[in-house]
A = this chain, B = another copy of it.
Amino acid sequence: MTTIAFLGPQGTFAHQALRTLPISADAELRPEASVLFAIDAVRAGSVDAALVPMENSVEGAVPATLDELANGDPLVIADEVYLSVSFNLFVRAGTELADIRSVATHPHAEAQVRRWLRDTLPGVPVSLIDSTAAGAEAVAAGAYDAAISAPLAGELYGLTALATDVADNPGAVTRFVLLTRPTAPGPRTGNDRTSLVAYLREDHSGALLEILTEFASRAVNLTRIESRPTKGRIGQYCFSIDCEGHIEDERVGNALAALHRVCADVRYLGSYPRRDGQQGPVPAGRTDQEFIDSHAWLATIRENGTV
């Protein structure tokens, strides 16, 4: 039986997102206490996959996820889920706003309600814990006065919502990714996405322009590009990139091979069905057939000097 870890405990957004994936229907869903634990469980082989948040429309990338994907044993993305998120302020029954002396939540949620918390609960310390659901659980246990959590978590732990939809920017969406140990990419669907990390050569100014040119000259659109420090010194970056298409697409595979040449390193993070939007038609000169034809042409020229 397939086992899938998620950022637990029960009742997190990750849990909710995981339930929307068909693969979860027959799987054992295993809550883990942190993104790191969920990812390590995949790496260790104790689960088959893990669903973790990758980016959020408000806060941007989830650094822990990006950094784990960029370092350590390789993992690949097998699928993605987009989930609308909203936050409530949960307390034990009877607690009033004025009684709140401590708040618990997950760092990423904290970033999305920071201004609201500062305005509503000025001076109240915010404790950073491993999930929004754990915050609700801890409030229920009396460890904190309040938690910023998903609606489901408050319900699950019998809490009261003192305020609902408290995000500084309403309408937030989180993108989750399903991680597995490396394996051959799934089949092409015609609307795929490919993820990778490109490590720049240290001594090479203009390197980002060079990387973007390799994609642009093959008409491969980027859907996300994030700079990340390379755990070295300030001013040294790698780039976490999502592009349209599948590594089996010739234009995508060739762009990745070109990156492999001009970058210090390229880490492939998977090709998988894209769950938002629809890519346009492949422009003239960049179809698989044209790539195949061009290399057949080259081989003939090298052999005979003409076609």
A57 closest partner in B (C-beta):
B234
Q: Are A257 and B294 in contact (CB under 8 A)?
A: yes
Chain A, residues 243-269, CB within 8 Å of chain B (1/0): the string is 000011000011011101110001010
Q: A231-B58, A235-B224, A298-B253 are in contact. Are A128 and B111 (CB under 8 A)?
A: no
Minimum CB–CB distance from A217 to chain B (whole Å) comes to 6
Verify A217–B226 contact, CB threshold 8 A. Answer: no
Interface residues on A, range: 35 or more
Cβ–Cβ contact A305 & B229, under 8 A: no
A286 interface hit (Cβ, 8 Å): yes
Q: Tell yes or no: A28 within 8 A of B by CB.
A: no
Select the residue from A171, A209, A291 with max chain B CB neighbours within 10 A: A209
Q: Which stretch of A3-11, A148-156, A177-185 is in the interface?
A: A177-185
Can you list 29 residue pairs at the A/B interface with Cβ under 8 Å? A33-B123, A57-B229, A57-B232, A57-B236, A59-B229, A60-B228, A63-B111, A74-B306, A107-B107, A110-B128, A126-B127, A127-B128, A175-B234, A182-B304, A183-B304, A184-B302, A184-B303, A185-B305, A205-B221, A208-B222, A209-B213, A209-B216, A213-B217, A226-B227, A234-B276, A256-B298, A260-B293, A260-B294, A268-B306
A79 on interface, CB distance cutoff 8 Å? no
**Minimum C-beta distance from A66 to chain B (A):** 10
Tell me if A95 is interfacial: C-beta within 8 Å of chain B: no
